[in-house]
Amino acid sequence: MTIDYSLGYNSNKESNDFLRCFWAALRKEFGKAAWNLLPLRIENKIYLGHCDIGLEHVLDISLSYKIKGCLSAISISVDDSISDAQLKRRLKECITNACKNIDKLELFSFTLPLDNAICFEKSDANYFSLDVNKLMLNIYGYDFVDAKTQSSSLLKNICAWLSFDQLKYISIEGCAFQVYSDTVRQQLESPMKYRLKITANIQKYLDDFISKPYSYEDHLSDIDKAVFLFGQGLKYDELSQMSISPLETYNEQSILCYMSALEVVTLKDIEPSKCECCGQLRYSIAKRVENLVYEVSQSKAMRKMITDFYKNRSQFVHLGTMLSENNYTGISIPLMNKGYGDGLIMQCNFRSADLASIVKECIMWKINDANSRLNIIL
C-alpha cells in the first residue's frame, strides 16, 4: 500500500514546519513515531528510512522536491501484503491535519539543571528564567516531543551566550563534559556560593532569540557562531588549569577556539579577492583578525600579541605543531628551538590569563558596532 500526497512548498522553513507538524500528528494518532533513519537521496527523492508507529509493519517514508530543501510531495509505503483502508484514511488525515495546523504551535515549559558549579541570581524574562542552577525555558512546539527537541536545538546557543556573559564555561548538568576547576570545587564545597548575574542586554537578546520563528538553515548569526566558539575556548581554558592529563592539548584547543571566534566575527570585514594564479578566493583571515584587535585596542602591542596567538593557532591546525612539549617535571630545563615563538622549547603549556577577556572585548565591539548601524543584535 502506498500513499502519494502532493504538497508544493516553496520554502525550506514551510517544508520543515510541515514535517514537524506531521510527525507530531503521527504521534498523536498512533501513540508513537520512532525512527530507524536510513537516509538515501536518489535524484530528487529522499528516502528517510523506517518509521515505527506501533503497527505490525513499519512505514517507509520518502520526500520529493523540485527545489532543494523544499518539499513538493510525501510518499508513505507499507508492506504490499497490507491493504488496510482504515490505515490509509488515518495516515491521510495526519497529512491533511498537518497542512491545516502548520501555524498552530503550543507553548511548553521545561526546567533544565545547569551544572552544579553554577549559581545564578533569580532573573525572569518572557521565554527563559534563571534561578540558582536552574534554567527554565518556554518553547513553542507542535507537541511535547517536538518542543523538547526544539529546546535542545536552542540550548547550545543559550549556554554559549551565558558563558560569554560570565567569562565562565556553562553547560547543562548530565552533559558528557563538565568543567570543575580547583576554584570551582572550593565553591561547590562552600555553603555560600557566589551568585552570577546575567547582563540585562544578554538576557533580552536570548529572550528574543528563543521567541523568534525558527529558521532551519541560518538560525544562528555570525556573532552567535563566534560566541559559541568563544564558549568552547573557555571550556578548554578552564581544563588547562586542571591537573587531568599532561598529554592533553587543552591550550592549543582554547587558542584555536578563541582565534576561530575572531575569524568568524570578522567574516564580512574584508571582501575576498581572487588569486590571479589559481582563481581561488583569498579571505585575508589573519589581516581581518589583526585589524579588529587594533581597531578595538588601538595598541600595537595588543595586535602583536594576538598575531602571535594566531600564528600559534596556524602552527597547530596546519602543521600539527604543539605549543608545549609537556615535559616539565618540577625543574626547568631550558632548550632552544629554531622555528617559532620566542626561541625556546616550551616545557609546559603557556596561556595568557587576559586572552579570553581580549577576545570577548573584540566580539562585544563588533556587537555594539552592528547594533549602532543596524539595531539588530543587542
Question: Could you report the average pLDDT of every consecutive run of 10 residues in the chain (378 residues)?
Answer: 90 95 96 92 94 90 94 89 80 95 94 86 94 92 94 92 94 57 53 77 94 86 94 89 68 88 86 67 75 89 85 76 69 76 71 84 89 57
Q: What is the pLDDT of residue 176?
A: 38
| Residue that is written with C-alpha cell 582565534 in the block | 259
Q: What is the pLDDT of residue 116?
A: 79
Q: What is the pLDDT of residue 159?
A: 94
Cell numbers placing 276: 590571479
Helix (H, G, I), strand (E, B) or coil at 75: strand
Sequence-distant (6+) residues with CB within 8 A of 44 are 64, 65, 66
pTM: 0.84
Q: What is the pLDDT of residue 179?
A: 45
Strands 128-132 and 120-124: antiparallel
Q: What is the pLDDT of residue 192?
A: 47
Burial call 270-281: b when 16+ CB within 10 Å, e when fewer: eeeeeeeeeeee
Residue spans in the chain of domains classed CATH 3.30.310: 2-101
Q: What is the pLDDT of residue 345?
A: 76
Alpha helix stretches (DSSP H) within 180-269: 182-189, 200-211, 222-240, 250-265
Which residues are registered as beta bridge partners of 4? Answer: 75
Q: What is the pLDDT of residue 255?
A: 87
CATH of 2-101, one of 3.10.120, 3.30.810, 2.40.30, 3.30.310: 3.30.310
Sequence-distant (6+) residues with CB within 8 A of 131 are 120, 122, 123
Q: What is the pLDDT of residue 215?
A: 86
Between vectors from CA 170 to CA 164 and to CA 174, what angle results, nearest 5°?
155
